[in-house]
Copies of this chain bind each other. A is one copy, B any other.
């Protein structure tokens, strides 16, 4: 059965605490991760919490990448949700693993939108989508 999208849930442990607390850097690197995966970025929104922690979302035409960090635990929860056949979220995973300097990771890949009646090439949105 075909699925509309794939969704990787990532736990990054043992990360660099300064990186986890650097909203500007995370925004840049999450957008770069989207780009090298083949995604089309629509926008991004990142927030820094006081005294620490960052939440960020990169909305892509093919769904989204998100990150939530807990510098106090050296931990980040990352979601890489992509649709269509042209984006590879594992490229984003490898990039973020390196940037966060994670010592260990846990990943689960889920299929989203498993439907019987999907026809033709898989895209998140029709080819001529205006974004």
Interface residues of A (CB under 8 A from B): 4-5, 7, 9, 11, 42-43, 45, 47, 49-53, 55, 57, 59, 61, 63-64, 66, 68, 70, 73, 75, 77, 79, 81, 83, 108, 110, 112-115, 117-118, 124-126, 128-131
- Binding site of A, secondary structure by majority: helix, strand, loop or mixed? strand
Distance in angstroms between the alpha carbons of A6 and B87 in the assembled complex: 27
B64:A57 contact, CB within 8 angstroms: yes
B128:A75 contact, CB within 8 angstroms: no
A50 CB, min distance to chain B CBs, angstroms: 4
Oligomer copy total:
2
A57:B57 contact, CB within 8 angstroms: yes
Distance in angstroms between the alpha carbons of A49 and B61 in the assembled complex: 9
A125:B53 contact, CB within 8 angstroms: yes
B83:A68 contact, CB within 8 angstroms: yes
A12 CB, min distance to chain B CBs, angstroms: 10
Hey, which chain B residues are within 8 Å of A50, CB to CB? 125-126, 128-130
